[in-house]
Amino acid sequence: MKKTLGVILLGILITLFAGCSSGGNTPPPATFTISGTVSGSIAANVTIYLASGVTTSTKTASDGTYSFTGLGTGYYTVTPVSTGYIFTPPDQVVLVNGKDVTGQNFISTPRSPVYIGEWTWVSGSNTYGQRGIYVTSGTPDAGNLPGARSSSVSWIDGGGNFWLFGGYGYDSAANVGLLNDLWEFDGANWTWVSGSNTYGQQGLYVTKGTPDPGNMPGSRSNSVSWMDGSGNFWLFGGNGYDSANAVGPLNDLWKFDGADWTWVSGSNTYGQTGSYGTKGSSGPGNIPGARSGSVSWIDTGGNLWLFGGIGYDSTGAVGLLNDLWKFDGTNWTWVSGAKTYGQAGSYITKGTSAAGNFPGARSSSVSWIDGGGNLWLFGGYGYDSAGNVGLMNDLWVFDGTNWAWESGSNTNGQRGSSVAIGVADAGNIPGARQYSISWIDGSGNLWLFGGNGYDFAANINLLNDLWEFDGTDWIWIGGYGQASNYGTKGTAAANNIPGTRSSSVSWIDGGGNLWLFGGIGYDSAGNKGNLNDLWRYQP
C-alpha cells in the first residue's frame, strides 16, 4: 500500500509589536528614554546594545530609567511586560552591561519606524480570504485577480512579466483547496492564462515529451519552478492531484512554452520512490522521488537543479531529504547528498569548501544562484549537526563539486541578531525559519523576507523582516513582526509594510524592485488567513 504524506502545520504564537518599518533614509539621532527595571546589578554608567547601534547611557533614576542617544525618531517610554526586554521600534535591547536581557520584554510606545526603503501596495485586497476573479482566459483585464493563496510558485519571463501557478487557496466560488491556475501580471493587469478556476483538478498527462493543449498539471502546492534561457517555465513535483485524481507527493516534471504544457519526466501517479542510479552519472532510469517543499536553481548552461524536501527516498520511506539532483534536459543525475531520508548536516570549517560538507535533510528552505554559477541555500526545517530536527538559519553554497558552510549556526532554533539596521556586519544573522521568500538583485545580492521562524527574542512567530546578503555579511533592512499597513493602493509611503506572513511568492523586476504576492499571514484588520495582496519594494 502506498504511503500518504500529510501536511503538518506548526502552531504559531503570534505577537504583534508596535515597531519598526521600512522606507526612506536613516533619520538623525534622537533622545530615547527607557523606563523599567533591568534585573541584576546595573552600574550607574551602562552600555545598551540596540539593533540600531551601541550607545553609552547614564542611569538617571533609581527605578531604572535611562537616557541615551540612538537612531530613530521620537521619545519613548518603555514599560515592562511579563517576560523580557523586546524594545521596539526597531531597537532590540540585547545586552545591558554585557548581561543578556533578551529573555525579558520591554515594549515601547509610541511607534516610530526606522526607514530604509519604501513598500507600495499594488494590487489585491487588504483583507484575507478573497476568491479568485477569472474574467476571460487569455485576456488581461483590470477585473482579473488571483484568489488568496499560499505555497504557489512564481517566475519572471524575458519581457519582465510575472507568472504565478497554483498553490493552496480560494477558487472562483470561494472554495478553498489546491489550485492549478496559471496567471500572468504585466505590471498593470492580471491575465488568467491556463488551468481551472475551481480547485481540486486532476493532472492530464497525454503523451510524455510532447506539448499538447490537452496536457495540464494537476492542482498542487509546495512545488518548485525554474525559467530556462529560452523563456520556458519548468515545474516539478509538490503535493497535489495525479492522473487518477488521488492526492499525494508528486515527481512529475513539466515544461510550459507559453502556449502548451509538456509532461517531460516522472510519473503520473503520486508516491513514487526515488531511483538514484550511480552518484555523478546521468541515466534514463534516474528520477528523484516524489516530494514537496524542495528548492531549485537553473544554471547558465540551462541545467535544472533540485535539492531536498520531504518525500520518498530510495527505499520508499518518507522523510526529510538532502539529495541534490541535476536535470540536463534529458536525464537526471544524482549529484550529492544521501539517497535515504533523515541525514544530519556535516559542518566542517565555516567558509571552506570540502568534500565532507553537506547540508542536513530539510524542507521549505530558500535558494538562489549567484553570477559565478554557485548555488546558495538558506535555512528551512531540517536536521542540524547533532541530528536534531528544527528550524535552521545556516547558509550554504555549492560550487558544482562541494558544499561550503558560509554563515549561521550548525544547531537548530537560533534567534535573529542584528548589530545595526541598514549596516552590513558579521554579527548580523536572520533567525532560523522556513517558508520564507527570496530575490536576487542586479548586483547579485540576496534579499530574504519573512517566513515562520525565530525573531530577535527567540520567539517563534510569523515574520516580516527584510534582509539583504551581500555575499559576505547580512544586513537587516527593516521589519519586525508588525501587522500590515497598506496605505493607499498604488502609492509608496514610508509607513507601508506587508504584515507578517509565510509561504508567499516573489519576483524582482528590471529596475531592481522586489515584488511580493500573497501567502498566509495577517491582513489590515489583524486577521490571519490566505492573502492575495501584491506589493512592490523599492530599495
* Domains defined along the chain, listed by start: 30-109 (no CATH), 118-538 (2.120.10.80)
| Distance in angstroms between the alpha carbons of the first and the last residue of the chain | 52
Query: Position of cell 525579558?
Result: 104
Q: How far apart are CA 156 and CA 226, in angstroms?
A: 9
* DSSP one-letter string for 351-381: T-EETT-BPPSEES-EEEE-TT--EEEEEEE
Q: Decide: 307 and 294 in contact? Cβ < 8 Å.
A: yes
Name the nearest CA neighbour of 119 among 532, 517, 507, 486: 486
Give the Cα separation of 342 and 440 in Å (integer): 30
To 5 degrees, how large is the angle CA 535–CA 538–CA 539?
135
What is the DSSP-derived secondary structure letter of residue 473?
-
* pLDDT value at 452 more than 50: yes
Per-residue pLDDT, 479: 80
Q: Of the given ranges (12-21, 323-332, 379-388, 511-520), which has the lowest mean pLDDT?
A: 12-21
Nearest by Cα to 253 from 300, 288, 302, 298: 288
Considering 42-46, 119-123, 473-477, the range whose residues carry the highest mean pLDDT is: 119-123
* Residue 367 φ/ψ, nearest 5 degrees: -145, 160
Task: Give the contacts of 59 (CB within 8 A, at least 6 positions apart).
Answer: 42, 43, 44, 45, 46, 65, 66
Q: Which amino acid is it at 43?
A: A
Closest to 107 in 3D by CA, of 93, 91, 86, 84: 86
Selected residue with higher pLDDT from 85 and 535: 535
Please state, in angstroms and as integers, the Cα–Cα distance from residue 259 to each residue in 192, 211, 243, 490, following that order: 13, 9, 21, 31
Mean pLDDT of the chain: 81
1 or 323, which is more confident: 323
What pTM does this model have?
0.81
Q: How far is CA 239 from CA 145, 236, 246, 279, 517, in A?
A: 24, 10, 10, 26, 20
Residues 420, 53: Cα–Cα separation, whole Å? 5
Whether the Cβ atoms of residue 506 and residue 36 lie closer than 8 Å to each other: no
Indicate the Cα dihedral angle 175, 181, 185, 189, nearest 10°: -50
Q: What is the pLDDT of residue 456?
A: 80
Return the top range by mean pLDDT from 222-231, 234-243, 490-499: 234-243
- What pLDDT, on the 0 to 100 scale, is given for residue 420? 64
Tell me how far the alpha carbon of residue 46 is from its chain's centroid: 38
Mean pLDDT of 155-168: 94
DSSP H or E segment with residue 108: strand 106-109
Q: Which of 84-98, 127-141, 456-470 is predicted most confidently?
A: 127-141
The residue-averaged pLDDT of 7-27 equals: 25
Alpha-carbon distance of 178 to 175, in angstroms, equals 10
Q: Choose the weakest-confidence range: 2-16, 32-46, 179-193.
A: 2-16
Under the banding of pLDDT at 50, 70 and 90, the label for residue 349 is confident
Cis check for the bond before 539: say yes or no (omega within 30 of 0): no
Q: Per DSSP, which regions of 269-374 are E strands?
A: 282-283, 291-292, 295-298, 304-312, 318-327, 332-336, 353-354, 362-363, 366-369
pLDDT band at residue 124, thresholds of 50, 70 and 90?
A: very high
pLDDT category of residue 88 using cuts at 50, 70 and 90: very low
Contact 466, 475 (CB under 8 A): no
Residues 56-65, mean pLDDT to the nearest whole number: 36
Predicted local confidence at residue 95, as pLDDT: 34
Q: What is the pLDDT, as a whole number, of residue 425?
A: 85
Question: Hey, is 399 helix, strand or coil?
Answer: coil
For residue 46, the surrounding DSSP H or E stretch is strand 45-50
Residue that is written with C-alpha cell 512592490 in the block: 536
Q: Are 294 and 247 in contact (CB under 8 A)?
A: no
